[in-house]
A and B are shown apart, each in its own frame.
Chain A
Amino acid sequence: MKLSAVQADAIQELGNIGAAHAATTLSQMLGSTIEMSVPAIRVVDLSQLGQYMGEESAAMVAFELQGDIPHGGYILFYITRESAVRMTNTMLGLTEINRPLSEMDESALLEVGNIMVSAFLDATAELLGFVMLPSPPSLSIDMAHAAMQSLIAQMQEETDEVLLFSTELVCEEYKVDSDIIMMPERSTLLRIIELLENMMKPG
């Protein structure tokens, strides 16, 4: 799988728009400013996944991409465990950092993930004229690699490499570092590229 420079640019722009909407919702929820990175696109061979996601403990709120393509791949809200605690502390008015995550934290994470991913997909769908809806969310708080690997194993179209499309969202004030990561099926990716290319055609 290889993307041309123009295709990569177009997807990056799409990610910018989606992530900007997600960042706005996070900013509202935390009552603070959110900095957003330039979206990164990586084609990762399965055997090399460990270089991007390791043993670190992280919370992942995962959604299957549904809508115009029924099993379109996955999109997830990724946040390290430390950041997750700081974020829910801010939302729930707590201060203790070294504590186990409770059901309250899990509900808060699911809710934040849901709101952010919905905002991301709403914005991209509007631009593309192509409906992508999130499935109900599912949460894993464990080794990042183990969670990611499990999603890849569940993809419909078997492949030896995955496209990870990620944007980092950081809140300096509360030291919260999170990512929105999209992992489309190959056919979904091709469809998105096709729609983007049509949009860029003159006339």
Chain B
Amino acid sequence: MIGIGEYRVGSFPMMTIGLGSCIGLTMYDPNLRLGAMVHIMLPESGGRMDRPGKYVDTAVPLLVKELVALGCKNRSIVAKIAGGACMFEYFGTNLNIGERNAAKVRILLKEHNIQLGAEDVGGKVGRSVTFLPANDGKVSIRRADGTSSNL
């Protein structure tokens, strides 16, 4: 179980629950069957380095670095994202953090030449994500109404 601002790297099953405006980002290298997952909360770190998994601008380079250190190539890594919702309409109008998170992830992935394979973002819905690197990097999403889907 990956909490807010936490990340894992490896081939074991990974899970994170209850993404609202947060982003669950997975990266998978099909050649090495290795992956990484992070639960990101905010777009910008503003120079903070103590919790790199918490911010988009530190989390994306961190996962890339970890995977490259294990022998992965940027161009073979496939990323998927989920979350970035707006759970409370009234508060969300002027600072849609979910949307900003998702937009920032797309930019950072592009900068690092990482392919964005699929995404399930936005709306007014919470999501939980399970990532199975050993099972072809399968990513599945569960919602509060009990429905689930593969990404």
A residues contacting B by CB (< 8 A) are 46-50, 53-55, 57, 62, 64, 135-140, 142-154, 158, 160
Contacts and interface: CB of A to CB of B under 8 A. Distances in A.
Contacts of A57: 144-145
A58 to B, nearest CB: 9
Contact of A64 (B41, B91, B143, B145): B91
Contacts of A142: 20, 87, 124-126, 144
Interface residues of B, number: 37
Contact of A55 (B4, B18, B48): B18
Given A140-B87, A143-B128, A47 B6 contact: yes
A148 B21 CA distance: 10
B111 interface: no
Interface of B: 1, 3-6, 17-22, 41-42, 46, 48, 50-51, 54, 85-91, 95, 97-98, 124-128, 142-145
B18 A62 contact: no
A146 B87 contact: yes
12 contacts: A50-B18, A55-B144, A145-B17, A145-B18, A146-B19, A146-B87, A146-B144, A148-B18, A150-B20, A150-B85, A152-B41, A154-B97
B22 A143 contact: no
Given A143-B17, A147-B20, A153-B42, A46 B128 contact: no
A144 B19 CA distance: 10
A139 B92 CA distance: 12
B90 A54 contact: no
In the complex, the 4 A-B pairs of residues with the closest C-beta atoms, listed nearest first = A145-B18, A146-B126, A47-B3, A143-B126
A54 B85 CA distance: 17
Contacts of B5: 46-47, 160
A46 B88 CA distance: 19
Given A47-B5, A50-B1, A150-B85, A143 B18 contact: yes
Contacts of B98: 150
B85 A160 contact: no
A144 B42 CA distance: 19
A135 B21 CA distance: 20
Nearest to A55: B17
